[in-house]
Amino acid sequence: MLQPTQPEPSVTKPAFNAREKLGAVLRVLIPPLLGIAAFLGIWALIAQETSNLPGPYKTWISAQALFAHPFYNNGPNDQGIGWNILYSLYRVGLGFGIAALVGIPLGFMIGRFKFLAAMTAPIISLLRPVSPLAWLPIGLLVFHRAEPASIWVIFISSIWPMVLNTAVGVRQIPQDYLNVARVLNLSEWKIFSRILFPAVVPHVLTGVRLSIGIAWLVIVAAEMLTGGVGIGFWVWDEWNNLNVAHIIIAIFVVGIVGLLLEQILVLIAKRFSYE
């Protein structure tokens, strides 16, 4: 009598799943790694052909020495890169915060009231394209000091994306929502808190993301002109000392800090989504 054959246990499925996971990880990692390798290779070739331009290895050695003591303080004109970054972040945070306190409510009002939108449209259209550094002499003239002048430049440069994105978000709210609010005799505060704010939050956060990027770009240029402690002044000081490796390191630092600021705001935008 024939015995029924038992199916053999599968031993290849776990290995197949592991290969799939490994392949997925490699597909994610290989393109950026190739891009970084190509960038470093081009940098090394340019450094070989250019005198006084350090290559990736020399820059890495300088970075190790630089970040070994990032918070030393030998006086107002000789401080570690850590202090310079913190001072720049302080100025950006202050100027950007003031711009948010002014720009977001102004954007709500412009989007809500057509008369105010028509009144402010020519002013915004005229001032928004002005180069940020063109505002620096005005700040120095009014405030007589470099610190508030730098904060003023950040404020006036970063306010426009928040104003415009917030106003656009308010205008895109369906008119039916506002008609229902009018029928229910809702107060302006309830219209704001129950209808406008939840619907406009994604637009507000988009404006905030754009503004923080502009603010971080502007502070580097402003500090180069005003001096003091900050990453922009540090770059200019290293140029005067002909320390090109430190300038390259500062470029990477500025890029990394800007990327971190943007990613933090992306996480906040996902957290406060009302969709």
Centre a 10 Å sphere on the Cβ of residue 80 and count the other Cβ atoms it contains.
18
pLDDT digit string, tens, across residues 83-133: 999 999 999 999 999 999 999 999 989 988 889 999 999 999 999 989 888
- Output the pLDDT for position 273: 58
- Output the pLDDT for position 249: 93
In this prediction, residue 3 has a pLDDT band, given cuts at 50, 70 and 90, of low
Report the alpha-carbon distance of residue 153 to residue 151 in Å, rounded: 5
Do residues 255 and 135 make contact, with C-beta atoms less than 8 angstroms apart? no
Collapsed DSSP state (helix, strand, coil) of residue 102 = helix
- Output the pLDDT for position 202: 85
Report the alpha-carbon distance of residue 257 to residue 232 in Å, rounded: 13
Angle between helices 56-68 and 244-271 (to 10 degrees): 70
The alpha carbon dihedral of 90, 216, 77, 252 has a sign of positive
- Output the pLDDT for position 61: 93
- Output the pLDDT for position 99: 94
The one-letter amino acid code at 152 reads: W
What's the fold here for domain 83-271?
MetI-like fold (1.10.3720)
In this prediction, residue 146 has a pLDDT band, given cuts at 50, 70 and 90, of confident
Arithmetic mean of pLDDT, 269-273: 68
Collapsed DSSP state (helix, strand, coil) of residue 73 = strand
Collapsed DSSP state (helix, strand, coil) of residue 229 = coil
Arithmetic mean of pLDDT, 228-247: 88
- Output the pLDDT for position 14: 59
Whether the per-residue pLDDT at 193 is higher than 80: the answer is: no
Task: Give, in order, the Cα–Cα distances in Å from 121 to each of 99, 125, 126, 162, 207.
Answer: 18, 6, 9, 15, 18
Whether the per-residue pLDDT at 141 is higher than 70: the answer is: yes
Q: Specify the pTM.
A: 0.80
Centre a 10 Å sphere on the Cβ of residue 177 and count the other Cβ atoms it contains.
14
* Pair of tokens at residue 149: 């002048």
Arithmetic mean of pLDDT, 54-78: 87
Report the alpha-carbon distance of residue 129 to residue 146 in Å, rounded: 23
- Output the pLDDT for position 122: 92
- Output the pLDDT for position 50: 84
> What DSSP assignment string belongs to 189-213?
HHIIIIIIHHHHHHHHHHHHHHHHH
What's phi and psi for 44, nearest 5 deg? -65, -40
Do residues 149 and 136 make contact, with C-beta atoms less than 8 angstroms apart? yes
Domain boundaries, the chain: 83-271
Q: What is the mean pLDDT of the chain?
A: 85
Whether the per-residue pLDDT at 56 is higher than 70: the answer is: yes
Centre a 10 Å sphere on the Cβ of residue 96 and count the other Cβ atoms it contains.
27
